[in-house]
Amino acid sequence: MPDRAEADRLADHAQIDGLADELLPALIAKLGATGLAELEVREGDWKVRLRRSADGSTAASRAASARAARPAGGHLEHAHPVATEAAVDPYRAAATSPAVGIYQPRPEISSGSRVRAGDRIGSVDVLGIPQEVVSPVDGIVGAGLVESGDAVEYGQELAWIELISSTAERAGRDA
């Protein structure tokens, strides 16, 4: 969007930061406490949707699947990752297994694929029922940590997602 004013961009960034820092933690707590599958909140022209994966995992442990989205034209590449695991390493986050079973990566996703937080990158087969493996952050799929068809346990790290916000975009913004 070349015609966007610098001021607009800055205002957007400030709003997104505000949402990520203030609204998300409260929403995650709420989702965890209520047992609802999905929460959606509109604030200004931004919309935040939290979704609990089908296996019923709590939002607190799977905060990584929280995803902010703007109806049109918005970009959230630098939205703060809210997962605690992601916070440990500023450059990458691991997609973890939602269950004990057999891992199958999505064929169309490979190292170098660009993904957004909440995107399905594969599944873990539990007695024939696939459980979604989602990217915890916006980023680029990096090294796979397990092979297709491997047995994996709950919480096991399956693939790295390299954060794009932490490097190029942050540098760009700061310049």
Partner 1 sequence: MFAKILIANRGEIAVRVLRACRTLGVEAVVAYSEADRESLAVQLADEAICIGPADAKRSYLSAPAVISAAIVSGCDAIHPGYGFLSEDEGFAEVVRAHGLTFIGPPPQVLERFASKEATRRLLGAEGLATIPGSNGMLRDDLHGLEEAERIGYPVLIKPSAGGGGKGMRMVRTPRELEAALKICRSEARAAFGDDSLYLEKWLEDNRHVEVQVAVDRFGHGVHLGERDCSVQRRHQKFLEEAPTPALDEAARNELAERAIRAVVAAGYENVGTLEFLVDPAGNAYFIEINCRIQVEHPVTEMLTGIDLVVTQIRIAAGEPLGFSQGDVTLRGHALEFRINAEDTAHDFRPSTGVVERYLAPGGPGVRMDSHLFTGYEVPPFYDSLLGKLVVWGPDRPTAIARSRAALDELVVDGIVTNIAIHQALLVNDTFLAGEMTTNLVDRIGSAAFLAAAAR
**Residue 37 interacts with partner 1 (CB under 8 A): yes or no:** no
CA 94 to chain centre: 10
Pick one of 53, 65, 156, 166: the residue that binds partner 1 (CB under 8 A). 156
Contact 104, 149 (CB under 8 A): yes
Nearer residue to partner 1 within complex by CB, 44 or 155:
155
- Judged by CB under 8 A, the residue of 65, 78, 101, 135 near partner 1 is 101
Residue 129 binds partner 1, judged by CB under 8 A: yes
Q: Which of 45, 79, 66, 64 is nearest to 136 (CA)?
A: 64
Interface with partner 1 includes 149 (CB under 8 A)? no
Choices 9-17, 82-90, 121-129, 132-140; region in contact with partner 1 by CB under 8 A: 121-129
C-beta of 18 vs 32, nearer to partner 1: 32
Q: How many helices (H) and strands (E) does the chain have?
A: 4, 11
Indicate the residue among 11 and 151 with the shorter CB distance to partner 1. Answer: 151
Of the two residues 55 and 162, which places its CB atom closer to partner 1 in the complex?
55
Rounded Cα distance between 96 and 114, Å, is 17
| Region from 2-10, 53-61, 78-86, 159-167 binding partner 1, contact rule CB under 8 A | 53-61
**Nearest CA among 98, 109, 105 for reference residue 148:** 105
132 vs 97: CA distance, rounded Å: 8
**Helical ranges in 35-152 per DSSP H:** 84-88
